[in-house]
Chain A
Amino acid sequence: MSGNGKDFEPRIVGFLCNWCTYAAADTAGVSRMAQPPNVDVIRVMCTGRVDPVFILKAFAEGADGVIVSGCHPPNDCHYQEGNFKTFRRMPLLEALLQQYGIEKERFHWGWISGAEAPQWAQLVREFTEQVRELGPLDWKRQVESKE
């Protein structure tokens, strides 16, 4: 983490489903769409496979923001209903994170299909700026406080 203000480069972890958003991110890269390099992409087979632990652990270990993105419901999911599990789980996790004091602007979950590369690039641009605006989360520093 490189301090506050404009120097600060947010570290964002993106859990992208293999069949939709990962394909979009891949296309966005291959097509050289302009986007900041702040998202560390982790490819998962399905967003329904994203255990809330992954997201909590990302924040606990230094992520400033987290993105979960997969196939549009109701019909795009490669496994038919993996994204249903996601939309049942994520609102609850969102409420949980807010109770922990993690701003809702640091966590984005949603849908981008394989054909929506420009939308991915736009999300990365907007989300990175949104998180940059909030500054570093720096969770470890908080919990290691001797006070």
Chain B
Amino acid sequence: MADNGKLKLGLYWAASCGGCEIAIVELREKILDLDAAADILFWPCAMDFKYKDVEAMPDEHMDVCLFNGAIRTSENEEIAHLLREKSKVLVAFGSCAHEGCIPGLANLFDRKSIFEHAYLEVPTVDNPEGILPQTSFQVPEGEITIPKFYNTVKTLGQVEDVDYYVPGCPPQAPQIWAVIEAILSGNLPPKGSVVGASPNKTVCDECKHDRVEKRIKKFYRPHEIIPDHDACLFDQGIICSGPATRAGCGALCTQVDMPCRGCYGPAPGVVDQGAALLSAVASVVDADTEEEAARIVGEVVDPVGTFYRFGLPASLLHRRKLGG
């Protein structure tokens, strides 16, 4: 704590969309309470700080750092190490830092294929000389360098020692506030815990739709069906990540008849969220022959993207085979 009794707080974004910052602002008037309780020492998205300001701090100067975003580039990793050094408590904040999230789906590709697509193949790109990003470039004034883009997206926990994980894409405001209150009161669970979410429930436990465990003959993607408002979405053939996902969001998506996409990460005790969801999907298939089963599950478009939408880097296999 600072001399004025306030918490010294840092916030950072690595490979992320900015939604986690919006989620902080979503605290609305409570952000004033946050300001009353904490001094913000670093928040590149909202305030003017430079990396050198952080480098100048003594070690463990900040009480808490909420780190959102995955590790996509060497810059992300370097700042993760720096913030670990300068913070007493490092929190992987949001799905990207927790388990890789949407940026992590790039693990189905590698640097070469991503660069070729983004800088050469996309129809709106005009790049006749086929220039791809270089980590260093000579200009008359000297050498210019940019961070290295890695082949593989990693989670914060895969490159640094993390104290707590706050799941969600983005974390929900009431949950964020509960975490901040827990930090302020010093009432924190054991290191390595997932906080700001349910310790023992899945999204299905919070969902209002009625599950009757129907067997289904056909899978639908959300745009192919107008779902019944009361029946379980899974029972209607819509792949819903609820059974494999940790509760804590209040089942927001299913409230409006959209299937859960799994952003709160694996349910408590689940090793691999995608494998758990795959089993759940297969278990509702109404097929008594191998041919029929193969036909029905063959309708699942993009199994990795569906089952690991938010957690590919944190999954058992982490990424697609390189060079394969």
Contact = CB atoms under 8 A, between A and B. Distances in A.
Judge: A and B partners, yes or no.
yes
Interface of A: 51-53, 56-57, 59-60, 73-74, 84-85, 87-89, 91-93, 95-96, 99-103, 137, 139, 142-143, 145, 147
B108 A99 contact: yes
A10 B272 CA distance: 26
B322 A52 contact: no
Given A92-B300, A99-B108, A100-B321, A57 B316 contact: yes
Contact of B317 (A59, A87, A103): A59
B281 interface: yes
Interface residues of B, number: 38
Contact of A89 (B272, B279, B317, B318): B279
B255 interface: no
B304 A99 contact: yes
Interface string B278-305: 1101110101111001100110101110
A60 B279 contact: no
**Chain A facing B: main interface SS:** helix
Contacts of A52: 272, 275, 278-279
Interface of B: 108, 111, 150-152, 271-272, 274-276, 278-279, 281-283, 285, 287-290, 293-294, 297-298, 300, 302-304, 307, 315-322, 324
Contact of A84 (B288, B319, B322): B288
**A-B pairs with lowest CB-CB distance, top 7:** A101-B321, A101-B324, A89-B282, A52-B275, A99-B304, A92-B297, A56-B316
Given A53-B272, A59-B317, A87-B294, 8 more contacts: A56-B275, A89-B282, A91-B297, A95-B297, A100-B319, A103-B324, A145-B151, A147-B151
B300 A95 contact: yes
Given A56-B272, A142-B321, A142-B322, A99 B316 contact: no
Contact of B275 (A51, A85, A87, A142): A51
- Residue in B275, B307, B315 with the greatest tally of chain A CB atoms within 10 Å: B275
A82 to B, nearest CB: 12
Contacts of B303: 92, 95-96, 99
A86 to B, nearest CB: 9
Contacts of A93: 278
Nearest to B315: A56
Nearest to B302: A99
A73 B179 CA distance: 51
Contact of B307 (A53, A74, A84, A96): A96
Contacts of A145: 151-152, 322
A53 B259 CA distance: 23
B298 to A, nearest CB: 7
Nearest to A143: B318
A147 B293 CA distance: 40
A139 B293 contact: no
Contacts of A92: 278, 281-282, 297, 300, 303
Contacts of B316: 53, 56-57, 60
B133 to A, nearest CB: 15
A60 B317 contact: yes
B184 to A, nearest CB: 38
A40 B296 CA distance: 32
10 contacts: A52-B272, A53-B275, A88-B285, A88-B287, A89-B282, A91-B298, A92-B303, A95-B297, A101-B320, A145-B322
Given A99-B302, A145-B152, A147-B151, A139 B320 contact: no
Nearest to B270: A53
A19 B171 CA distance: 48
